[in-house]
Amino acid sequence: MELDLETVEKIQERAIDFVFQYGPSLLGALITFVIGRYIINLLMKGLNKVFDKYEIDASLSTFLTSFSRALLFVLLFISIATQVGMELTSFIAILGAAGLAVGLALQGSLSNFAGGVLILIFKPFKVGDTIEAQGTLGAVESIDILYTKVRNFDNRVVTIPNGALANNSIVNLSQKPTRRVEMAIGVAYGTDLKKTRQVILSTLGKDERIHADPEPVVKFTSFGDSSLDLVVRCWADAGDLWPVYWDNMEALKEAFEANDIEIPFPQRDVNHYYPEGKK
């Protein structure tokens, strides 16, 4: 279909009118977006410097930075919308309706947001703590608006929703400065338990990482299938928990061998009954 000259002139006139009518507003909106984004980035850098200067908790600073950035961008878009000619009251009404629809669609995200606020208020853990939650054991790397990132000991990062963390049990392994080391040990039946206890306590006494108060204890717990079962409990700094456990398990094995204390292995007594008259 060919356009006649009159139609082309009308299209050109409308295009020119549109440019003159809306061009300045759209150009101003674009400039406002670029400048606003630059200012927001500057404000975020300044906010991070303030947090660093006053040594604000890393968990709180990460959360506040994410929340502030999102809030500033919302304000920027409101400013741009009013600049292109949209009335503020109409925009707020549209934003409210959209917010309701989005809120219904993102109930899980809102739950995660509320969970993040609760975590920051009650502080069951902070960045750097080692926690066990939702089947994950590792160190907390960050607490964001919606999610918490936990790094496993094999260097995998697990992202856990804040809502799940706030509404379920959390084991914080770093909150207390000391931890109890517990070792389960079995010795053969017929072993002198008093001598065994003395050997164990003497071995533990050589490790300076083990606290004298509370003092280590060795208790007989049960008659096992092939062993007399003992539990050894001592206290150490939280950071020394596993090194103390591994080192002393090896040291106790060597001490048992040096003192002729038998470490049992599973064994069974088999009795064979023959019918009468047969060997």
Is 111 among the domain residues?
A: no
Query: What CATH number corresponds to the domain at position 191?
Result: 3.30.70.100
Cis peptide before 214 (omega within 30 of 0): yes
Q: How does pLDDT run across 45-79, given as a tens digit for each residue?
A: 888 888 787 777 666 677 778 778 888 888 888 77
Q: How does pLDDT run across 158-200, given as a tens digit for each residue?
A: 999 998 898 899 999 988 999 999 999 999 999 999 999 999 9
Q: One-letter amino acid identity for 261? A: I
Query: What CATH number corresponds to the domain at position 163?
Result: 2.30.30.60
Question: Do 14 and 77 reside in the same domain of the chain?
Answer: yes
Query: What CATH number corresponds to the domain at position 34?
Result: 1.10.287.1260
Is 31 among the domain residues?
A: yes
Question: Do 201 and 121 reside in the same domain of the chain?
Answer: no
Is 279 among the domain residues?
A: no
Q: Which of 112, 128, 211, 141 is nearest to 172 (CA)?
A: 128
pTM: 0.59
Q: What is the pLDDT of residue 108?
A: 63
User: Over 70: is that where the pLDDT of 231 sits?
Assistant: yes
In the listed set 147, 172, 197, which residue is the last one of a domain according to the structure? 172
Question: Do 195 and 242 reside in the same domain of the chain?
Answer: yes
Helix (H, G, I), strand (E, B) or coil at 210: strand
Q: How many domains does the chain have?
A: 3
Name the token pair of 244.
Answer: 């103390």
| Cβ pair 231, 198 in contact under 8 A | no
Which range marks the domain in which residue 129 is found? 116-172
Q: Which whole number is the average pLDDT over 267-277?
A: 74
CA 130 to chain centre: 8
10 Å CB burial of residue 67 (0-12, 13-18, 19+) is middle
Q: Which whole number is the average pLDDT over 71-88?
A: 76
